[in-house]
Chains A and B, each alone.
Chain A
């Protein structure tokens, strides 16, 4: 069978190969110390070094917490957006989109100004006498999570919102007509239908979160070092490109594994938007 449209894919395929697959291949080769004397020493170093494992664990922990919060908030926002009047929906859409367009650096600095010890939030709380000493809201892991959730909520909202909007409203009506309570309808009908989108959104947020760099660097006060920052230090500062490459490969493999697991749970077709 002839496929007349295949030609339209060629430029994109060419770009993906040239600018993505080949460099990734080089990265993988670099992580094994090249062809001439291949070795596993960088991977051994990851396994042997407690501090690298701590950084991996910190990354994983922060990203997991961020994903849970972002998806929960995103679900609520998407739900509101899908079921409110068109004018309010436009307004809410703007509220989600405007921060989406701001640079990650600006957002991190804005959170810093709000949350630091002598920032607006702490000063207000101190002035009202609600607290006796400033709350440690930023320059720590807590601050990093706030900043990351704020950045990632829109990424959770849009896939969930798309599914909710395309959902057949008669499903709920049918449930109600046979006597299900609103809560029951939500749990047995609404939630299962939207769940693949929730997983998809969670995956998107999680993968994005793994690569976060600017937000932890600014809001973490230097003590919350996540994987991508560590890779950057290894490339620019300590010139251990092999270690940087092997950490990147670990990250890539972990991401692919995650994609595979979620696709087993949800089904890859539904995950990729056929919900």
Chain B
């Protein structure tokens, strides 16, 4: 299975952490155990062979490190409070799979991880349960990220990562990104439109707060102006490898990968939050889920606790969606949180509304545009 989303990318970081000795081998075995047989098998089969047991919540995400991360940060504390076990299943709950499960009335997941705009997109098709805001405290979610059919669970960003030696004094802008004469070398963008389109528009002079409704044709023309100087990355690992191999000098990549790059290259590759694209991920409840609905509502309420969101940031590098959590970060995590103070104010915020209505058509048009 290829990695078609940021959520999926979290899976890959785990194995590397083990290899580098930063994740305890015993913890890694726990991750494998949690995934059933092995994460890879889980990805192939689509889910754990075992279906939901009575009295437990099955949380579906994209596997790997995120299985352990979400289990530690959200599952265990919830179980301690409520007595309800939470099992994390790395079965990659892509929109298509959720749709197929709900329509065939064989739902095995209770809570699914996905991009924020999926809440409305799938919710409007009648595929999701509604969030009960008498249980979930709306004030603990950043404004605009509490939807009818889901809540923002964590955040991530598309950021401009670059080689420090090229920009020793100040970080590049997207104007520099497209100036191949002044800064020779290849650049990289995500193949699947998101983040890349915004980078192109910013590089073409569109203001940060004027990105949406997006002029996709203008973005594609700008991307094509790079000619042979652009390499499109597909998986997060690939975006990281291109920097390590010296294939690219700048890239629009996920913040989780950028911070790993900075750590692994001792700062030779770094990133700027400036003109990044700040995005919410979300939890949704597919209609017909096995666990009782009240338990899920309580679980959703619990993931907004600041200490649990901070724990997730420290394990996975994903930012909190509760502003109170960002406000109380220890100093070493402040640079990593896309939503912390100035990190957030210098970024554009992804329009969930635009993506809800346009993503499918946009990614198609984008692929068509950049191909050939």
Residues of B within 8 A of A223 (CB): 230, 232, 370-372
Q: Are A236 and B360 in contact (CB under 8 A)?
A: no
Residues of A within 8 A of B370 (CB): 222-223
Q: Chain B: interface secondary structure? A: mixed
CB-CB contacts below 8 Å: B333-372 with A: 360-361, 363-365, 367-372
Pick from A58, A140, A232: contact of B228, CB below 8 A: A140
**In angstroms, how far is the closest chain A Cβ from the Cβ of B252?**
13
Decide: A239 near B246, CB < 8 A? Known: A54-B372, A222-B232, A230-B367: no
Listed stretches B21-29, B45-53, B94-102, B310-318; interface member: B94-102
| A40 part of interface (Cβ distance < 8 Å) | no
Decide: A221 near B368, CB < 8 A? Known: A117-B186, A236-B4, A236-B96: no
**In angstroms, how far is the closest chain A Cβ from the Cβ of B8?**
11
The CA-CA distance from A221 to B1 in the complex, in Å, is: 19
**In angstroms, how far is the closest chain B Cβ from the Cβ of A133?**
10
| B149 part of interface (Cβ distance < 8 Å) | no
Most buried by A among B360, B365, B368, B369: B368
Q: How many residue-residue contacts, CB under 8 A, span A and B?
A: 70
Pick from A54, A58, A117, A236: contact of B94, CB below 8 A: A236
Residues of B within 8 A of A232 (CB): 2
**In angstroms, how far is the closest chain A Cβ from the Cβ of B51?**
23
Number of interface residues of A (CB under 8 A): 28
Q: Are B368 and A52 in contact (CB under 8 A)?
A: yes
| A30 part of interface (Cβ distance < 8 Å) | no
Q: Are B234 and A58 in contact (CB under 8 A)?
A: no
Indicate with 1 or 0, residue by residue over A219-241, a CB within 8 angstroms of chain B CB atoms: 00111110000101111111110
**In angstroms, how far is the closest chain A Cβ from the Cβ of B184?**
10
Pick from B233, B361, B372: contact of A224, CB below 8 A: B372
Number of interface residues of B (CB under 8 A): 29
Q: Are A238 and B94 in contact (CB under 8 A)?
A: no
Q: Are A58 and B371 in contact (CB under 8 A)?
A: yes
CB-CB contacts below 8 Å: A34-61 with B: 49, 51-52, 54-55, 58
| B84 part of interface (Cβ distance < 8 Å) | no
Decide: A236 near B231, CB < 8 A? Known: A51-B369, A116-B247, A223-B372: no
Closest chain B residue to A109 by CB distance? B241
Most buried by A among B95, B192, B372: B372
Residues of A within 8 A of B234 (CB): 217, 222
Q: Are B371 and A238 in contact (CB under 8 A)?
A: no
CB-CB contacts below 8 Å: B237-251 with A: 245-247
Q: Are B360 and A238 in contact (CB under 8 A)?
A: yes
Closest chain B residue to A226 by CB distance? B371
The CA-CA distance from A253 to B228 in the complex, in Å, is: 34
The CA-CA distance from A224 to B96 in the complex, in Å, is: 26
A-B contacts, 9 of them at CB < 8 A, read A49-B368, A51-B365, A116-B245, A217-B234, A222-B232, A225-B367, A236-B96, A239-B95, A240-B360
* The 6 nearest A-B residue pairs measured at CB: A222-B232, A51-B368, A225-B371, A222-B191, A221-B231, A238-B360
Q: Can you add 7 more A-B contacts, CB < 8 Å, to A222-B370, A238-B361?
A: A54-B368, A58-B371, A221-B231, A222-B191, A223-B370, A230-B367, A232-B2
